[in-house]
Chains A and B, each alone.
Chain A
Amino acid sequence: MPESDARTKLMRPDELAPAVDLLKSVLQQLDATLLGQPELHRMVLVGILSRGHILLEGMPGVGKTALIHVLGQLLSLSFNRVQFTPDLMPSDIVGSPILQEDDDGRRQMVFEPGPVFTNILLADEINRASPKTQSAMLEAMQERRVTVMGETRPLPSPFFVLASQNPIELEGTYPLPEAQVDRFLLKLHVGRPSADTLERIIDSRRRGELPEPTSVIDQVKLDSLFDTMDRVVMPTPVNRYIANLVVSTHPQEPTAPKVVGDYVTYGASPRAAIAMAESARAVALLDGRPTAGFEDVKAVAPHVLNHRLILNYQARFDKVSSLDVVDQMLNDIDETGLELPRGVEVEAAS
């Protein structure tokens, strides 16, 4: 469908229904496989639909790797896992040319692709690698290609980086560079399961083995999902709301709420606005709507913005997290941008 039609015509329900059903089945399988994290699964799916990279943060053993592993199985995509360690070198990720002798006995340099040449790359404990190695991921994540020895090689499509990291307070970790953090569409926090969830896990998982997915999404279905995703309409007021949100993360802006001025040093980049729009579309698609609304933006804004806000020492002193700042921003900024007369309020009658 032409892009102009996508902007002026809403999808019919029957056009939308297959994609929604497909996504529902994926979500159901994820929820059945990994217990107790339905919202996390939903957001991971949002990231996949948005074709973005996801950074999972959580303590060891909470199921980050398992989640990504199951997701790779469900999507029927190639999957590689790299365990990041301090001595990991960039060539260990992107690959390197090696000297090989062919049948004729001639020796030549042959490029040996690294684990990055896959559809889904699980970068486990990415913050344990040195900044040099972390930087090796920059081009791959943004350009979806790798340049080695002056030769650029495209990565398979789709290409997702699903990284996990331990909280930076742990010893032996390196904070990710801001440039790399910004390339992650979402940063999701993987929490600890509750006692009930743990009981179910203990009851249904022997030796930690995960059940095999019953159905998978092949490349064709995934492409159709992406096509449907492209036809989700983003109304102009919602676009404006996203723009206002991103602009308001900068303390220098006059529209910035007080919490931003108090605790934020640097705000989000335009890439955050794009990520938020795409994520909002994905949430709308998951909800079975052809349009994205304000509540979709509010649903993804904490995950899109929380790793993009650089807080000052005052925030650390007051123990204010970026999620707290984003929540306060969502409360302070009117989504419609409507400038009502002073003292006039629009409220939903009870």
Chain B
Amino acid sequence: MVDPAAPEAVLPALAVLTPAVTAFALPLAHIAGLGRRGVEALALLSSIITGFFSVKLLAAALSDGTPLTYCFGGWPPPLGIFYEVDVTGALLGCLTACLMFLIVLFSVGYMEDDGRLYLYYTLLMVVEAGMLGCFYTGDFFNLFVMIEVTAISSYALVSYLRSDRVAVAASLKYAVYGALATTAYFAATVFAYGSMGTLNMADMHAKIAGIPTPLTGTGFANVGLGLLVFVALALYAFTYKSALFPNHFWLPEAHSSAPTPVSALLSGLVVNVGIYAIVRFTYTVIGGASAVGKYLPIALLATGAASAVIGGLLMNLQRDVKRLIAYSTVMNLGFIALGYGLSTDLGVAAATYHLVTHAVAKAMLFMSAGLAIACVGSRNLSDLEGVGRASPFIGFMIGVSTLTLAGVPPLSVFMSEYALITAMVRAGNYFALAAFLTAYVSGAVAYLKLLYVTCVKPPRKPRTEIRGRGATYSVLTILAVACVALGLLAPLIFRSVFMPAAHTLMNPSQYLKAFLHYASTLTSYSP
């Protein structure tokens, strides 16, 4: 256990509150007369600090082995909001904060100043706070609030260019059905509270496993039907947020019509929130202890296989380059769901690894494609012919990111896909393997087509000079190095980071223990 008086003990709260406070400060700073550069500097500084906190948090979670905890307002769980960060949560939080810093830096070079840029950075900070809150929270209702914070600001970011007809229509589709999904999630929390008498995730796990806890006891005796409705509604909401089949319909439009840094943010990071929520829900809250828990991984396998195949096939039909990349996100989320559905330590570790490598490579592909689109002024694949030959740096970056995503060794996605295949073979799940390979081949064809069109064909359109070279080019260079490093360091980090993350996720006893440590300070109520 981390000592509650130690400086590390407040890290979960600091990491979430830093971007949240910045989000409130940015409009005020704008009113106080801070110009474009000042607003950008403030956003960059805040994302650097948040990144620093998240890295410290990951280091603390890895060295300690038990989840880090924080009670908001000093109220012990299950009474107050309880943050509980295990290795998986800390890892995803670290990925989010680090990639978010690069996205803010890219935006500094990429976004045009239209007089309300401070609102753009405000929304970015709100998304970051929401996502980190989702990864760090140990409370089911706080997860709802954080998912809503993330969701509303993502809807707004999609329609940031409010005169863009496509973007506004895409944002409406995303927001209307998204609001329906989050309302379903709210109903799910009500069902959960009604059947279990608690909303703390560790406490819910104890209720389902039949372990009595202080204050809430064993919950209500018969939770069968309430639990079933709860699982159905929550899964619907999570699959919507993570764009898994059959709730993937909003993603290609929303992700492709947003401004480029926002596309990178949505495809690389925001969808992870839904996946993480499913996994936390499947392995911690339900925990395989009940009859429902046994069927959840099967549902994950089915929806993952469908998303992977549909995403992989539809990638080949796209004429719009950003839509092609968006469908590849659907495919990769299917891969991740397949890995998590295996419910073995290796499968879960490989899925988390793939989540990280995909996030980095996908953000890079969206950014480099965005620069290419800015060069020729069109998103059509046919107009982008030879753009990579006209400007070699962009061509090189598109090349690195497509080859990474197509799974070329020794780049990062190859390593994570290799780990996924190994996990599927070891688990003897040939259904998952067949779906994976079908999607993989289909996706590779689309990636190579993208690479061929942009980098091999002779240039067709005259190119325009792109702005903000320093920031955008350095972000792409960092991401390219990360793609190579995450692949080359695979044997090292897989053993020291991803396997412990999977192990803590699959064994919720530590998670429960950290909760009980605080809950036992409360005396049980007896009428």
Q: Do A and B come from one complex?
A: no
Interface residue ranges, B against A (CB under 8 Å) = none
Query: Could you list which residues of chain A lie within 8 angstroms of chain B, going by C-beta atoms?
Result: none
